[in-house]
Amino acid sequence: MKTSFSRHPLALAAVAVSAMGVHSVALAQTTLNAVTVTANPLRATDLIAPTEVLTGANLLLRSQSTLGETLDGTPGVSSTYFGSNASRPVIRGLDGDRIRVLQNSGASVDAAGHSFDHAVPSDPITMDRIEVLRGAGALLYGGSAVGGVVNVLDNRIAQEPLFDKNGGISGKVNLGTATGNSEKSGAVLLETGNDRMVLHADAFVRSSGDVAAPLPSGVIGNSAATTRGGALGVTLFGDNTRLGVSASNYQSEYGTVAEDAVTIGMKSNRYALEWDIEKLSGWIQSLQFRASHGDYQHTEYDAGVAGTTFQNTGNDIRITARHAPIGDWQGVVGVQWDSNRFSAVGEEAFAPISRTDQTALFALEELPFTIASTTGRISVGARWESVKVESLGNPEISRFTPASRSFSPQSYALGGLWNIAPNWQLTGNLSYSERAPKDYELFANGAHVATHAYEIGNANAVLEQSTNMDMGVKWKDSSKKHSFQLSTFVNRFTNYLAQEATGVVNAETQLPEYAYTQVPARFTGWEASGKFRIWESNPTLDLELRADAVRAINTDTNQNLPRIAPARVGATVVWSQNGWTARLGANHVASQTDVPAGQVGTDAYTLTNASVTYQQNRGKTQLLWLLKVDNMSDVLAYPATSILTQTAPGKAPLPGRSVKFGLQVLF
């Protein structure tokens, strides 16, 4: 059954991103139907935002043990790769707290931005859908989304009724095993209810040993992991309303790869509420209310002895209102509050106990237009924020003292989409955004073992300012069997907060000192993807192509910025017949020699992969069988985007050959 309200609030982010200066790029998938990013509040069928959507069999095929590795290789997206247990997405060369990771369009509270060895508390085995918005997403989510937004959706709060008034039950079971790390994984999801209510429950577990790699030892040391968790949710539906709540838990114990005896024990609890009201009379036509609370903690153990404990507690509230049309203009206005309290207590407390509070107002407007026989849309938006970052010191460490900084970031955007001819679309965008420095960028002062550096914050740092421009072109033939998209972008930072080597070795720890320094920077690049039907009859044969490149430099010194992915190109042949689908692909990554002075470049490599899936329908039950081989040639490869390539050379290559078998049951 369908209802009149939108599916998820991220569509607001999608339109917001479109206003913040991005272009339209659809994911090259098995089908080329219009991609609908969840909850488009302005009801647009084509988004100006460059959006990648992974769901269904495509998500199952790409699924890895971390969010970063699951998305790595999609156009414009790479991974921080701290071994197979911890990685975040890198979008257009930007990582850390310039990429906003969301859970069901709400805040994901963790400590992943503080260190590369800190995992995101979300396992791909439970994900229903992942949406990636490339480019500046600051209009809805602030400067922490200047590089893009990644939204993980799991339907723990149902977006629409799943059954009629007589009720019913449905579910999903995922089972998997892999040879490369002796992985065994399983997840079960059950949903029941009627046309007025949905009850949701899920649970998952994943365990793996050390990851196989073409090293003398045969494995990547200290890369074993165990992850488990689950959630409960209930959603109520009225004629024009939806109200839902959920509670979820995530726990993981994993090795940190860089240090042979160091492991991390993580646990995270999250509580969320969503309330939608539609068909209001008066100037406000609909309201969306989102609130979440997260409690995150992880402890780092050295040879089983507890060391540093990291904690982060956060609250996030966002209210969005769609107003009545003003002439031909349609739009939304909104307000957001969020607050986080972070602490690190123990030997690796390189940053003080801190608190960050943020309040924001935002507005987005769109105007459709017609020129001759062509149509399009113009998008404008603005966001105003108030951010306060406080160091609360640390009673056990005298070098951390209380301090406070306040910032008032602003963001503005202008974007447009033009259907210039049948099957052809152009987009162009210009945005200006400001990002407030994070707590560790301001107040860090200590040894950080994971990065093998003594980190020094910049207490006098000012707003990070950037101007972002991009252009895109998209073509799709009338049969939807062929498509192509190309985009280019330039991001100029007036004062990019870079972590740069000072050339000094800390006398106490004997670690090289790295200080947060503001420098002018420029990121330029392009992304392209396409799909072409090369054999039409049964079976069908398709060719999928993808490529991207990005370059980032300090424009004062012309020095390269660190951890930038080199040029990449990939191709996959897809054969389909009578429920069977076979894929054979290769991804070539060029050598990376554009690295900062004194750092190590990476060699080129080519990874090949293959998969076979078979879909069976047995009444109302659907079975999807999967057999996949990754890195078929067992190539030894080191990613340029991983800090381990510099700090632990030779210890953490990409995984070697692995054969995975999986089964997904939908009922």
Element (DSSP H or E) covering residue 138: helix 138-141
Element (DSSP H or E) covering residue 442: helix 439-443
CA atoms within 13 A on the CB side of 241: 7
Q: Which amino acid is at 620?
A: K
pLDDT of residue 237: 97
**Partners of residue 385 on adjacent β-strands:** 360
Kindly give the pairing relationship between strand 540-554 and strand 483-505.
unpaired
Phi, psi of 230, rounded to the nearest 5 degrees: 180, 180
**Partners of residue 630 on adjacent β-strands:** 658
Q: Which amino acid is at 232?
A: L
- Token code pair at residue 165: 């008034």
Q: Which amino acid is at 125?
A: I
pLDDT of residue 49: 64
- Chain mean position to CA 155: 17
pLDDT per residue as tens digits for the range 486-532? 999 999 999 999 988 888 999 988 888 999 999 999 999 999 999 99
CB 22, CB 16: distance < 8 Å: no
End-to-end, the C-alpha distance of the chain in Å comes to 17
* Cis status, amide bond into 539, omega within 30 of 0: yes
CB 240, CB 4: distance < 8 Å: yes
Does residue 534 come out as left (phi exceeding 0), alpha (psi in the -120 to 50 range) or beta? Answer: alpha
Burial tier of 573 (Cβ tally within 10 Å: 0-12, 13-18, 19+): middle
- Token code pair at residue 529: 């993807």
CB 121, CB 250: distance < 8 Å: yes
State the pTM of this model.
0.89
Q: Tell me the DSSP string of 538-584.
A: SSEEEEEEEEEEEEEEETTTTEEPSS----EEEEEEEEEETTEEEEE
Query: 653: closest CA among 633, 639, 640?
Result: 639
Q: Tell me the DSSP string of 298-336.
A: EEEEETTEEEEEEEEEEEEEEEEEEEEEETTEEEEEEEE
Ranges of the chain with pLDDT below 50: 1-41
Strands (E), 394-511: 403-407, 410-421, 424-435, 445-448, 453-456, 464-476, 483-505
Q: Which amino acid is at 518?
A: Q
Query: 506: closest CA among 434, 573, 578, 453?
Result: 453
Q: Is the Cα dihedral 130, 136, 138, 139 positive or negative?
A: negative
CB 46, CB 607: distance < 8 Å: no
3-state SS class at 96:
helix
CA distance 167 to 606: 51
pLDDT of residue 435: 94
CA distance 471 to 645: 33
pLDDT of residue 51: 76
pLDDT per residue as tens digits for the range 130-177? 988 877 656 677 777 888 888 898 889 999 999 999 999 999 999 999
To 5 degrees, how large is the angle CA 297–CA 303–CA 304? 50
Does residue 56 come out as left (phi exceeding 0), alpha (psi in the -120 to 50 range) or beta? Answer: left
pLDDT of residue 659: 98
CA distance 253 to 265: 4
CA distance 139 to 146: 9
CA distance 106 to 9: 9
